[in-house]
Amino acid sequence: MGSGRGMLCGAFVNNGHPAHLARMALGALLIQRRLKYSDQWVVKHIGENPNCNISSV
């Protein structure tokens, strides 16, 4: 039986853009929902500071 990672690698395409970690996406969603900010606000602020967390906002 192959490793899970090996099986998943075939499902993704290398188009030159790095993949975002699932925890980064989940963190962005949590910040957005908890603070009730728009998508644009979240993208702008996480783009400026990828280490953004709820206590720093």
Question: Mind listing the pLDDT tens digit for each residue in 6-39?
Answer: 666 666 667 776 766 777 788 888 888 988 999 8
Which two tokens mark 20? 């975002």
pLDDT of 56 higher than 70: no
Question: Distance (Å, rounded) from C-alpha 18 to C-alpha 47?
Answer: 14
Question: Mind listing the pLDDT tens digit for each residue in 39-52?
Answer: 898 888 888 887 76
What is the residue extent of each domain of the chain?
19-56
Would you give the distance in Å from CA 25 to the centre of its chain? 3
